[in-house]
């Protein structure tokens, strides 16, 4: 095993291959607070990439209600239980990663879902948890003790992919130009070690073609400078497709670097597993912090506080307003005079949005009708 640097753990770790971190890494940022689980992203992806034979139950993008939703069934609780205790000390991960805990002769500690585990993607949907104590309802308003939230899930295009580590055919590779992780379908022989190894369960086996498939990061769009299908279909405007610089060289003008490394408001999913996943989440502000710390590691409370105070941070607020504002990937951004702007790699402006949308208040009473004739009226829904 090689020693590689995993910035999310705050330490080095063992990995079967030398690190091959790209200069710019495909990433997606998700603002969990805005998701309504409409599944527009899921359908946009499915309609584009997984409508064929053998792909009937395949969702490269899925939205699950936490804490009870899973696709496939039990994906995260199973791997957390397998790994055992996961402690952090002063921002450094003190436990073992899935690579370090691998059984003798294997590269990754993993488990294999049953076929039927893929058949219930809406399991646990809209199911809250907590104490439903009706007598305390008013006392706890506006945050009742019941909670749930939606988690947006795609392949994380990990810096240290478990699927790559486990494949005996070396049929999965990470593109050097943008870090997108792809299955070479010609090389794949259907060994399914990748399915067992990926803790996020984002490689999927096609029973018709007998080879594995996975989210391709919409690379044909990325190559044209466009954001992914799941991003552009998102009604909540909570996704941003972007690129991360190397972690020791973050550029505050670049949107993903700003959110992940400068403000540290967007956090990785289960960083303790050791894959350095490259999808980042702004945590939901209404959920108990201990639960969120298990999912997103240290820094949850700080991220929540920052989100709650975003109104006082024009750069952050402006960047959040740029989410979902254009299909094009913007390389840099700035905020000035109440306007947030995104620029392409040549510094040309491609999008501009007001940081605060104008509000128009209609008068409560009106004195003319639509034809301009005198009446006395009253608006009920002003």
Instruction: Pick between residue 6 and residue 229 the one whose CB is nearest to ligand SF4.
Output: 229
> Is 303:178 a contact under the CB 8 Å cutoff?
no
**Residues in binding contact with ligand SF4, number by CB under 6 A:** 27
Is there binding between residue 275 and ligand SF4 (CB under 6 A)?
Answer: yes
Is there binding between residue 217 and ligand SF4 (CB under 6 A)?
Answer: yes
The closest alpha carbon to 167, from 186, 195, 206, belongs to 195
Angle at 39 between CA 38 and CA 44, to 5 degrees: 130
Residues 69 to 108 in contact with ligand SF4, rule: CB under 6 A: none
Residues 177 to 206 in contact with ligand F3S, rule: CB under 6 A: 183, 188-194
42 is in the binding site of which of ligand F3S, ligand SF4, none (Cβ under 5 to 8 A by kind)? none
158 is in the binding site of which of ligand F3S, ligand SF4, none (Cβ under 5 to 8 A by kind)? ligand SF4
Binds ligand SF4 (CB under 6 A): choice among 6, 65, 73, 203 = 203
Query: What six digits make up the tokens of 156?
Result: 């994380």
> Is 298:47 a contact under the CB 8 Å cutoff?
no
Binds ligand SF4 (CB under 6 A): choice among 13, 63, 158, 244 = 158
Min CB(59)–ligand SF4 separation in Å: 8
189 is in the binding site of which of ligand SF4, ligand F3S, none (Cβ under 5 to 8 A by kind)? ligand F3S
Is there binding between residue 169 and ligand F3S (CB under 6 A)?
Answer: yes
> Is 211:183 a contact under the CB 8 Å cutoff?
yes
Three-state SS at 318: helix
Which stretch, 74-82, 110-118, 166-174, 226-234, contacts ligand F3S (CB under 6 A)?
166-174
What contacts 285, CB < 8 A, 6 or more positions away?
33, 304, 307, 308
DSSP 295-307: HH-TTHHHHHHHH
Angle between helices 289-296 and 300-308 (to 10 degrees): 110
Name the DSSP letter for residue 271. Answer: G
- Find how far residue 94's CA is from the centre of its chain: 25
37 is in the binding site of which of ligand F3S, ligand SF4, none (Cβ under 5 to 8 A by kind)? none
Binds ligand F3S (CB under 6 A): choice among 29, 79, 83, 167 = 167
Chain positions contacting ligand F3S, by CB under 6 A = 167, 169, 171-172, 183, 188-194, 211-212
């Amino acid at each position: 095993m090689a020693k590689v640097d995993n910035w999310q753990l705050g330490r080095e770790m063992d990995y079967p291959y030398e690190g091959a971190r790209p200069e710019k890494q495909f990433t997606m940022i998700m603002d969990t607070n805005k998701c309504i689980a409409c599944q527009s992203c899921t359908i946009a992806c499915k309609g584009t990439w997984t409508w064929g034979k053998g792909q009937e139950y395949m969702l490269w993008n899925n939205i699950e209600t936490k804490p009870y939703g899973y696709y496939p069934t039990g994906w995260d609780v199973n791997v957390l239980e397998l790994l055992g205790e996961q402690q952090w000390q002063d921002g450094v991960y003190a436990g073992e990663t899935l690579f370090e805990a691998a059984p003798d002769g294997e590269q990754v500690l993993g488990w294999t879902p049953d076929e039927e585990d893929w058949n219930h993607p809406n399991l646990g949907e809209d199911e809250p948890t907590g104490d439903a104590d009706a007598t305390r309802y008013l006392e706890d308003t506006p945050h009742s003790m019941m909670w749930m939230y939606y988690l947006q899930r795609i392949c994380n295009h990990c810096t240290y992919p478990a699927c790559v580590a486990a494949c005996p055919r070396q049929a999965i590779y990470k593109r050097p130009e943008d870090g997108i992780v792809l299955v070479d379908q010609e090389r794949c022989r259907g060994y399914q070690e990748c399915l067992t190894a990926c803790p996020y369960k984002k490689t999927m086996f096609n029973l018709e073609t007998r080879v594995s498939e996975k989210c391709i990061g919409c690379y044909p769009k990325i190559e044209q400078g466009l954001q992914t299908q799941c991003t552009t279909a998102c009604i909540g405007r909570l996704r941003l497709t972007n690129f991360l610089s190397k972690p020791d060289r973050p550029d505050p003008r670049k949107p993903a670097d700003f959110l992940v490394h400068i403000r540290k408001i967007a956090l990785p999913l289960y960083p303790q597993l050791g894959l350095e996943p490259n999808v980042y989440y702004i945590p939901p502000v209404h959920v108990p912090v201990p639960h969120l710390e298990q999912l997103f590691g240290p820094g949850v409370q700080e991220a929540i506080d920052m989100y709650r105070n975003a109104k006082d941070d024009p750069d952050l607020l402006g960047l959040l307003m740029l989410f979902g504002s254009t299909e094009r990937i913007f390389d840099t951004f700035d905020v000035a005079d109440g306007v947030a702007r995104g620029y392409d790699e040549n510094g040309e402006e491609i999008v501009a949005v007001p940081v605060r949308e104008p509000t128009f208040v209609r008068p409560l009473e009106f004195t003319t009708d639509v034809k301009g004739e005198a009446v006395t009226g009253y608006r009920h829904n002003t």
